[in-house]
Every structure is written in structure tokens, then in C-alpha cells.
A and B are shown apart, each in its own frame.
Chain A
């Protein structure tokens, strides 16, 4: 009888609400009765409740399954809107929906361990075939936990207000809320997991950047809180899952404290031991006190962990609170505030919107802070990279220098060996071949053979000295030539005239020096022996990178007859030949009675001439 009265009242409420929101029926009241059976317990004492119904307020200490019944009239308007559906913004932990005694929706396991649907809005299609004209009974079987058993109020049993309307209209609301409570946290959680993992790896490979690893651990820990969004059916059972959740918070606090300390550049040995110990102690204590006291003990732990993080933050602020760390400080502070709000809101159950926002803001801030840290790390790497580049360049330079020195040394050694070898060969040639040629020079009765032997001797010197010898300064060469020519002419009673520029810096190759000496010697000999001249002038000059020597006499000139005779003695022809060998030129101008002019042109030592 009481049931009917209450239902009538509720129905009236529903009817009243119907015109308010076009096509959609908001339901803020129901009758509730505990019961484990497969259907609404008809005989059980039912009480009227307003929705949302939070068990922690309305029935403290209750855990298990609770039936809610809502009676609504299937209005024509509802059916016209298309497939009708039931929308439930929040139900914790799980529910079944029965329409007129028929099961139309099951969220998962209704016995321990319950499927966790606390964060998921529900949209249940109401099959029109099951709808009756007039009043319909909608029964919701909700299974949940008592507040004392959970670490957060949001995981305690409850049911939000309901809405019945066309599915198309409700689907948008459902999608919006699901995106906010499931999609976005999942995406952020995945990002955080990736970034955190990367930072752990970064800190691991760079031992000096340990704070990165700890921040990564903090991020990964936070991301793991969202596991329940992915994993609705915990394989471990409710109590174990709750304990693990609280233990995870211990790990996050450990990572946070270590990050702050490492970043500040301090290492406290006791902290390194105490924090892991605490992480082990936390779940152990929760296990010992039992499921009924979990929430209380967890609250104590939350306080302790928060205090630790605050102390670490204070240490960090004291050591690193400069201007350069201001962005980081702001971000960390914001993260901390958001984290505290998130936890406080979740724990207390007040301000559900703040809890939701904080839940999104914390991972965002963590991602930003992580990126900031990685970027700073990158900046710090830049000078290191530059240093390395510089070092590499130095090494390259040093290597090049060493190679250059080595090459020089090798060249020097080759030069020394060559010089020694040259001297040895020269000595051998002088002692052996030289002596024999010399014997011929001085013992032969034939002037021609004597001359040939003398030339052979000079040729030998040429091959020894001319090929490998050093270039001769032109000034020195002119000195040598002058001394020889002038003294020979003087001895023969011929007046000699010598015109040459002073202090010439140019050089002649050793070969050019020797060949020119011989050409000049031959020319002088010819003048002394054949010309009958009384005057001979030698003029040296430099023109167009060539050395020019003009030997002129006032003798008889060279008649054809004399020419032939001279050439038999390797005279003019050999002079021309020698000049040609040097890429030079030897021109002889002569006429009977006009004397002779010999013009010799020899290229200067090109390598030296340029300098």
C-alpha cells in the first residue's frame, strides 16, 4: 500500500517534470530497497529517496546491492522522439537495469569484485516493445561499496539523477560526459605515460640528470591512477585494488620528493632509505588495519605524504628559488595545488566539478612541466654539444698537425738519405770513374780525346750534382763565371769587359748553372783559340723571366771553314744543344771580319723566381 502511494507521488513528479524539458524526463526521486535477488524485492521495506543518492550520507555503513524503482508514464511524446533511453550520469560501482521486470542492461559483474563503472556515464536503450502504455516500472539494481572501504569518496556507492528521453537527445550528453571523464583522462594518461617513460630513460642514461628520471617516475605514477579507466574489471578484488591505489600514491610522493631534492642538487642518504621503506609500509599498514578502516588510515597517509612533498618543495625553493627557475616553480606550484584539490575533492566528495577539472589539469601540468624540463635539458646539452664540436675540431687540428709534422719529418729523412746517398755516389764516381777520366785528360796525346774526357768528367759531375743539387744564386754564378772568363782572357792577352747587374736575387737550377758554365767556357775557348780578337765583352741581363748572356768579340768571325772545324770539336753545335736541353736558346751571329756575337737565353729557376 505504501509502495503505491510513493510511486504515485513519484509518477506525479515525473509528469510534472515532463513539459519542462522537451521530450526528456529528469528523474530526481525513487524508492529504494536493499536486496540480493534478481528482481525488485517486493516485500522489503522501501523508502523514498531523492536522487542523486549518496550512500555515505543516506545509509552510512551500507555495502552491497540496492534496488531503485522509478515509475514513469510512457507518454506519446516520448515515443515520438524515437528510441527511448535512460541516461545515468553517475553510478558507482555497477548497475543492472530492468524495465517492467525484464533485464535490459548490465554494466558487468554485480558480485565482488564489482565492475568499476564509477567514472562512466551510462546510456541504456529502453526497448519500445517492453514499454507498456500507461505506467512503466524501471528498476535499477546498484552494487557499491561503503565509504570506509574506499580511499576516495568518488569510489563509494551512489546513484545520480536519471533522465529518460529519446536516445538521440541523451547520447550527446552521454558522449560529452564520457569524453570529459574517460576519453580526455585516458588520452592525457597515455601522453603522461609516454613522456614519463621517456624521461625515466633520459635520466637513466644520463646519470647526472637523475631528477629527470624521478620526474618521469612521478608522471608514470600519476598516469597509472587512470588504469581503472582502462581496466574496469580488476582481477585482484576490491580491497587489494584499493590498497594498490593508495600504495601508488606513496610511490608518486616518493618520486616527487626525490625529484625536488635532486633538482635542487641535494642528496639525503636517510631520504633514499626512508622513502622506499615508507612505500612498503603504506600498503602493509592498510592490509593490517583491514578494509573497514582503509579510508581513515589512508587519510593519515595522505597527510604524511603531502607533508613530505611540502617539505621537499620548501627545500627546493630555498636552494633553487631564483629567477631562472620561476617558470618551473609556478608550474610545480600549480601542479601541487591541482593535485591537492583533486585529492581533497575526491576524498571528500564535495565539489565534484572541481575534482573533475583537477583530474584533467594535473596531467596537463605534469606534461607541460616535463616538456619544460626536457627542453631545459636540451638547452643544457647545447653548450655541451658545442664543446664537443670544439673538442673534435681541436682533435682534428692536432691530428693534422701531427700528420704534417710527420710528413715533414719523413721528407726531411728522405732528404737526408738522398743527400747521403748523393755524396756516396759522388765520392765513388770521383774516386773511380773520375780518376780514370782524369788520367785520359792528362795522358792522351790527342787534344780531342782530352777534351772529350774533360767533358765526360763534367758530365759526371752534372749527373751527380746537377740532378739533385741545390739551385745556385745567379749573383754567385756570375761571380764564378766572371772570375773564370776574365782571368782566362787576361792570360790570353785579350781585353775582357764584363757587364752584369749587381746582387741578383734570382736563382738558376744546378743543371742550368753547369750547362751555362760549359757554354760560356766553350765560347771563351773559341775566342781564345780561333777568333784572333783583341776585345771580348760579356753582358748579362734578366728579361721576361729569362737569363740572357751575350758574348761578343771583335775577331775574324766564323767562316764556314772554321765552323766545320769547330763543330768537329763539338763547338757551336754542342753549345746550341746544351741551351736547347735547358729550354733555352743559343744564337750565333757572325760574319767574316765582323766578329761574333753569341746570345744565350736560359730560363731562370721558376720555383724560386716567383718569390
Chain B
């Protein structure tokens, strides 16, 4: 592992924010207030809808069209993953981002499988969160090495030969996507990977988005297959 990190000038789009309507799901009032302040700083003029419960959030998702949803996982009446799933079903173009205190992939991975587009750890310093939000808004979701390893493990299990009876369209990663994933797992930043592979930063970001999407699609296929096996769809 040998490389040079480059100072990375983030192009913060001043002026009109791409995220106009934002859902904020957080049960702790203080944290919600802090989050609200932070979001408004990053996306000035955005329309915020706040909720403290899964149930309310799902109602909001049905009523309002969101560009971005910041979703806490552990809530009094359930898991934020349900809201992620609901958003993915109802508003596929909305970007769900998990904002949580849980840093372990046991909590994060199900949310990513459900369709979350990255995650933010709550206790991180303010400036780091700000940066991550910017990147998300520009279509560059965060991907930590530990999550990358988990995704690699997930797809390496999936590509193992399966019985023909269970033949469903197998979602697999392309060579390039795997390459990007492997480098992320080793701790390289996306700009570094772009330099290493001779690709633009946007292309790398597209690969990451594609990886998230495939994770979601594959997980859904898996769920459907499981349901089929259980006889839910005949």
C-alpha cells in the first residue's frame, strides 16, 4: 500500500442546492435540532420534514416527494431500515442516507441492502459530516473500507455456483467495480483510486453508486427468491 493522497478541493455548489426537499428522521430532539442546523447549512433553503417515529416517516414518504432522506436506525417504534425500504419502493429517485450512532456493519449493512445510499456516523466531527453531505448531494456516496469488505464478501458468496432450480438473474459486479471495491477496502480514497485507474473522479463515483445499486437489487432478488421458496408467490 503505497500512494500519495492529494489535497482534494471539494467543489461546493454555492447557490441553488440540488436537495430541495429533505426528510429528517431522528427521535432525539437535541440531535434533530443539531442535524437540522447542519443540513440547512449545507443545503440552504431546503424544505425540511421532520419525524421522530418510523410510522410518521412512512406517512410523510407517502405524502411528500423527497430528494434526500436522513434516517436514524434505532427508533422507538422500529428500525429506520423500514423507511429506507419504503422510500426505495415509493420514490426510487430519492436518496436515503443512514445517519446513525452504530458504526458496525451488522447494523449498517441491512440498511445498505434495503437501498440506503451511504451512511454518516453521528459522532463524527461536524466538518467531516458536512463534507460527506456535500459529496452525497453530488452523487458521490461514502463507502468505508469495512463496508467495502462486507460488500465484497457478500458478492463473493453470491457468485458461487447455485443449484439450477434457483436460477434467478444473478447480479454480479463487473471487474472494474470489484477493482474499485478492493481498493476502497485497502483504504484508498476515491480520488486516489481514480488516479490509479486512470479514470475521472465522477466515473469512480459512478462505480460506487452502481455497487450500492447492485447490492440493493441483489438483496431484493434474494428476498424475492426467499419469498418464492416460502411459497408466498406461488
Query: Lowest 9 A-B CB distances belong to which pairs?
Result: A482-B187, A496-B5, A479-B145, A479-B187, A486-B5, A442-B34, A483-B187, A439-B30, A500-B1
A458, A480, A501 — which one has the most chain B CB atoms within 10 A of its CB? A480
Q: How many Å lie between the Cα of A458 and that of B3 in the bound state?
A: 29
Contact B6 A490 (CB under 8 A): yes
Q: Which of A427-467 contact B (CB under 8 A)?
A: 427, 430-431, 434-435, 437-439, 441-443, 454, 457-458, 461, 465
10 A–B pairs (Cβ distance < 8 Å), ordered by A: A438-B122, A441-B122, A443-B34, A476-B146, A479-B149, A480-B187, A482-B188, A483-B189, A489-B5, A498-B187
Contact B101 A434 (CB under 8 A): yes
Q: How many Å lie between the Cα of A496 and that of B126 in the bound state?
A: 22
Residues in B whose Cβ lies below 8 Å from that of A112: none
Contact B5 A490 (CB under 8 A): yes
Q: Which of B148-194 contact A (CB under 8 A)?
A: 149, 184-189, 191-192
Residues in B whose Cβ lies below 8 Å from that of A481: 187
Contact A479 B186 (CB under 8 A): yes
Residues in A whose Cβ lies below 8 Å from that of B126: 442
B152 CB to nearest A CB, Å: 11
Residues in A whose Cβ lies below 8 Å from that of B149: 476, 479
Contact of A438 (CB < 8 Å), options: B123, B145, B189: B123
Q: How many Å lie between the Cα of A281 and that of B30 in the bound state?
A: 117
Summed over the interface, the residue pairs from A and B with CB atoms below 8 Å come to a total of 106
Q: How many Å lie between the Cα of A438 and that of B127 in the bound state?
A: 16
B52 CB to nearest A CB, Å: 12
Question: Is residue A403 within 8 Å, beta carbon to beta carbon, of the partner chain?
Answer: no
Q: How many Å lie between the Cα of A499 and that of B187 in the bound state?
A: 12
Q: How many Å lie between the Cα of A475 and that of B182 in the bound state?
A: 12
Q: How many Å lie between the Cα of A502 and that of B185 in the bound state?
A: 12
Question: Is residue B103 within 8 Å, beta carbon to beta carbon, of the partner chain?
Answer: yes
Interface residues of B, count at CB 8 A:
36
Contact A494 B7 (CB under 8 A): yes
Contact B8 A491 (CB under 8 A): yes
- Knowing A435-B31, A491-B127, A498-B1, say if A480 contacts B144 (CB, 8 Å): yes
Question: Is residue B131 within 8 Å, beta carbon to beta carbon, of the partner chain?
Answer: yes
Residues in B whose Cβ lies below 8 Å from that of A495: 4-7
Question: Is residue A593 within 8 Å, beta carbon to beta carbon, of the partner chain?
Answer: no
Residues in A whose Cβ lies below 8 Å from that of B101: 430, 434-435, 438, 457
Contact A497 B34 (CB under 8 A): no
Q: How many Å lie between the Cα of A487 and that of B144 in the bound state?
A: 11
Q: How many Å lie between the Cα of A249 and that of B2 in the bound state?
A: 108
Residues in B whose Cβ lies below 8 Å from that of A261: none
Residues of chain B at the chain A interface (Cβ within 8 Å): 1-8, 28, 30-31, 33-34, 74, 101-104, 122-123, 126-128, 131, 144-146, 149, 184-189, 191-192
| Chain A: number of interface residues, binned into ranges | 35 or more
Residues in A whose Cβ lies below 8 Å from that of B31: 435, 438-439, 442
Q: How many Å lie between the Cα of A489 and that of B191 in the bound state?
A: 13
Contact of B145 (CB < 8 Å), options: A437, A480, A500: A480
- Knowing A438-B101, A465-B104, say if A480 contacts B146 (CB, 8 Å): yes
Q: Name 7 extra pairs, CB < 8 A, besides A478-B187, A479-B149, A496-B5.
A: A439-B28, A439-B31, A443-B30, A458-B123, A483-B189, A486-B189, A500-B2
Residues of chain A at the chain B interface (Cβ within 8 Å): 427, 430-431, 434-435, 437-439, 441-443, 454, 457-458, 461, 465, 475-476, 478-483, 486-491, 493-502
Q: How many Å lie between the Cα of A564 and that of B4 in the bound state?
A: 32
Contact of B144 (CB < 8 Å), options: A465, A483, A491, A501: A483
Q: How many Å lie between the Cα of A439 and that of B104 in the bound state?
A: 20
Q: How many Å lie between the Cα of A413 and that of B103 in the bound state?
A: 27
B5, B34, B128 — which one has the most chain A CB atoms within 10 A of its CB? B5
Q: How many Å lie between the Cα of A490 and that of B7 in the bound state?
A: 4
Contact A478 B6 (CB under 8 A): no
Residues in A whose Cβ lies below 8 Å from that of B5: 486-487, 489-490, 495-498
Residues in A whose Cβ lies below 8 Å from that of B127: 491
Chain B residue at smallest Cβ distance from A484: B187
Residues in A whose Cβ lies below 8 Å from that of B74: 427, 430-431
Residues in A whose Cβ lies below 8 Å from that of B3: 497-498
Contact A476 B1 (CB under 8 A): no
Residues in B whose Cβ lies below 8 Å from that of A478: 1, 186-187
Contact A498 B2 (CB under 8 A): yes
Residues in B whose Cβ lies below 8 Å from that of A457: 101, 123
Chain A residue at smallest Cβ distance from B122: A438
A384 CB to nearest B CB, Å: 53
Residues in B whose Cβ lies below 8 Å from that of A499: 1-2
Chain A residue at smallest Cβ distance from B73: A430
B2, B185, B186 — which one has the most chain A CB atoms within 10 A of its CB? B186
Contact B185 A479 (CB under 8 A): yes
Residues in A whose Cβ lies below 8 Å from that of B192: 486
A474 CB to nearest B CB, Å: 12
Contact A483 B2 (CB under 8 A): no
Residues in B whose Cβ lies below 8 Å from that of A435: 28, 31, 101
B7 CB to nearest A CB, Å: 5
B27 CB to nearest A CB, Å: 8
Q: How many Å lie between the Cα of A439 and that of B27 in the bound state?
A: 12
Q: How many Å lie between the Cα of A439 and that of B101 in the bound state?
A: 11
Residues in A whose Cβ lies below 8 Å from that of B30: 439, 442-443
Q: How many Å lie between the Cα of A500 and that of B104 in the bound state?
A: 25
Contact of B189 (CB < 8 Å), options: A487, A493, A497: A487
Q: How many Å lie between the Cα of A596 and that of B90 in the bound state?
A: 54
Contact B7 A493 (CB under 8 A): yes
Residues in A whose Cβ lies below 8 Å from that of B4: 495-497
Q: How many Å lie between the Cα of A435 and that of B26 in the bound state?
A: 11
Contact A490 B189 (CB under 8 A): yes
A583 CB to nearest B CB, Å: 26
Chain B residue at smallest Cβ distance from A431: B74
A290 CB to nearest B CB, Å: 101
Q: How many Å lie between the Cα of A487 and that of B189 in the bound state?
A: 7
Chain A residue at smallest Cβ distance from B183: A479
Contact B1 A482 (CB under 8 A): yes
A534 CB to nearest B CB, Å: 10
- Knowing A438-B101, A443-B30, A454-B123, say if A483 contacts B145 (CB, 8 Å): yes
A511 CB to nearest B CB, Å: 16
Residues in A whose Cβ lies below 8 Å from that of B187: 478-483, 486, 498
A320 CB to nearest B CB, Å: 65
Contact of B186 (CB < 8 Å), options: A434, A438, A465, A482: A482
A427, A437, A479 — which one has the most chain B CB atoms within 10 A of its CB? A479
A408 CB to nearest B CB, Å: 25
